[in-house]
Amino acid sequence: MAKETGVDHNKTVAHELSKVLADTFTIYQKTHGYHWNVVGPNFRGLHLLLEEQYNEIWASVDEIAERIRALGQSAPMGADAFGNLTSIKDGDPSLAAEAMLKDLIAGNETTVATLKKAAEVADEAGDISTNDLCTQRITAHEKHIWMLKSSLA
């Protein structure tokens, strides 16, 4: 696709990646929080599954932020910045295990949608590195969704 002249593509792509970073950080926090607070007959399995997922997500946070920096922009940081950029609500530690899983499914689905938008913007800008990063993260979050759905009764 042809690039528009006069548009700072790096800034546009980095802005979309900032939303990805905010959603990623928020779903990380929610997954970690539910790992701490899940209870019930499937506690051990869910506790371990959520730990596996939050560790995988955490590893991606730095990669996303560094890609924003590689585009010449500052990565957002802090609760206010992430709160203004994310589409994911905080978790509720009082939820039953099944409700926690459903909440995490929804949060991962939101993250996938944000990643798809960023990949589209990166593709339009001719930024194959960001597009590849987004594609890899979509695959990871879709796997999380599958595992969470498979864990529901």
From the list 66, 116, 85, 103, the residue with the least C-alpha distance to 22 is 85
Question: According to the model, what pLDDT value does residue 99 have?
Answer: 98
Beta strand extents in the chain (DSSP E only): none
pLDDT at 100: 98
> Percent of the chain, pLDDT > 70?
95
Structural tokens at position 92: 């509720």
pTM of the model: 0.93
List, for residues 1-37, the tens digit of each pLDDT value: 445 544 589 999 999 999 999 999 999 999 999 999 9
Mean pLDDT of the chain: 95
Cα-based torsion angle of the residue sequence 62, 60, 30, 25 in order, rounded to the nearest 10 degrees: 40
Q: Is 126 helix (H, G, I), strand (E, B) or coil?
A: coil
At residue 73, what are phi and psi to the nearest 5 degrees?
Answer: -115, 160
125, 11 contact by CB (below 8 A): no
